[in-house]
Structure 1
């Protein structure tokens, strides 16, 4: 049975990435996984729970919090900005991140799940690992800034941001992200 659950989850991740939250259906996921739709509901309950599980299953952003342990905080803004942009530009992870952003705009419940995930699983652990004051605010500022840049660059394709070389954008983002993470918030 666990192989069936994993097949359903893989089909759901692919569907959310390729078709978005709105166009993904329980029937479509079931068909792609080669199972009855009732089995999808048995494992996941409903589409929102399926999306939430797909979001949290081996998220591409999990590696971001490890950056603190891998090199300290001295140039964390640069490393975090670079790694975040790399995730968006990689074919496998970029598609999943795009699905997440599209899901946020398609459904209030998907939006709440993504906000909870980004805070609880990505940004807050990162800010806590740094050990700075006001960790939750620092996490929120960092996440909002990076997500806003990614949305403008990769989803909306706003120029000239969309065509900047990655390293040029990293050089612009790094000092801002570093300040959010470790600097004086005023």
Structure 2
């Protein structure tokens, strides 16, 4: 009698997929760290691999080559998806909370790469263009009322400032205060730029 195998359920390979996602995230984090401190041309796959705790061939497996890896590093799309994942009336609070939660839980800020990556040469131009298109212009497209571009840039500037104070200056009161309490205080400051006056 022939045995019939049961097809694997949806979660059969989930641990492997989770491991792959964790590894990819570690590689991207390592590459972002290095890009914030060195010119793109000076960064080797070996240096990224050492920082991420993986082998260089694993980077090639997941990203193809150095250029493809740094295209991902210089994109803000995925970060912006999470940053803007709230209805407009509560978006200011959500964004303030997201910036802090990203720092506290992952040690990474969705916006600070624009402040601390070397912005010279072609790669600097790409990073700036990506930031404008994927963050400030995308936010501006959601706003109604006058001056949406300016208001989006001011809202993002407030978030970058929050990220700098928490992640770079490491000020004690901000770091010791509950994330939701800070979001309750800081969110209205950001929201003031998102909601048109009058």
Distance 1:108 1:58, change over 3 A: closer
Report what 1:25 is aligned to. Answer: 44
In 2, distance between residues paired with 1:141 and 1:77? 12
1:34 is aligned to 2:67: no
How far apart, in 2, do the equivalents of 1:12 and 1:75 lie? 33
Task: Give 1:131-146 correspondences, 5 Å limit.
Answer: 131-146=144-159
| 1:112 to 1:83, Cα distance in 2 relative to 1, 3 A | same
Does the 8 A contact of 1:101 with 1:151 survive in 2? yes
Aligned match for 2:97, one of 73, 77, 82: 82
Could you say which residue in structure 1 is the equivalent of 2:80? 61
Aligned residue among 167, 172, 182 for 2:180: 167
Give the TM-score, by structure 1 length: 0.67
| Mapping 1:1-186, distance limit 5 Å | 12-17=27-32, 19=34, 21-22=36-37, 24-29=43-48, 32-35=54-57, 43-45=65-67, 50-56=69-75, 59-68=78-87, 73-91=88-106, 94-95=107-108, 97=109, 101=112, 104-109=115-120, 112-184=125-197
The TM-score, its normalising length taken from structure 2, stands at 0.64
Q: Which runs of 5+ in 2 are unaligned?
A: 1-20
Bigger Rg, which one: 2
> Structure 1 pair 144/44, CA: closer, same or farther in 2 (3 Å)?
same
> 8 Å contact 2:165–2:171 — kept in the other structure?
yes
Cα-Cα RMSD: 3.9
**Structure 1 counterpart of 2:7:** none
Other-structure match for 1:3? none
- Does the aligned pair in 1 maintain the 2:100–2:166 contact within 8 Å? no
C-alpha displacement at 1:149, in angstroms?
0.9
- Point out where structure 1 has 5 or more consecutive residues left out of the alignment: 1-5
Figure out how many residues of one structure are paired with residues of the other and give that number. Answer: 169
